[in-house]
Amino acid sequence: MPLNIDDVIETFSMLDAWEDRYRYLIDLGRTLDGLTDAERSEEHRVRGCASQVWVVTDHTGDGAHSLLQFRGDSDAHIVKGLVALVLAFYSGHSAQDILTRDIAPLFKQLGLSEHLTPQRANGVRAMVERIKRDAQALAS
């Protein structure tokens, strides 16, 4: 079952301690289906992440209105949760919509902007850039 962003927001709002929020992020990572060994390749690796992160882009249709779905994985537990959150935010949208979606307000609402290390924040930016680059390639 796909991750529901509204459910994530609600759960985050009920968790006061950051230790609990980090545990919840780790749980979110466990919702990912994972990737095959072949998909954990250089082609799918996200550069700019301190941890190993892979993102696979699937799409139906062509052009700006094609719908994109993302799958991913990481070798680090908290990062895997961030991958699940980012992929849920962008999956199921058209290439055109993805290019205008900004995940920053969600991360601010969840308090993640202030609690991520600079390395993890750079990794999130790298994932978003990769997703938007794939969307741009389809939209062009």
| Catalytic residue positions, numbered | 49
- Tokens representing 27 are 């749980």
Strand partners, 57: 70
Task: Choose among 74, 80, 87: nearest CA to 131.
Answer: 87
The strands making up 93-94's β-sheet, listed across from edge to edge, are: 53-60, 67-74, 93-94
Q: Are 65 and 95 in contact (CB under 8 A)?
A: yes
Secondary structure (3-state) at 66 = coil
Amino acid at 83: V
Rounded (10°) angle between helices 5-14 and 77-90? 130
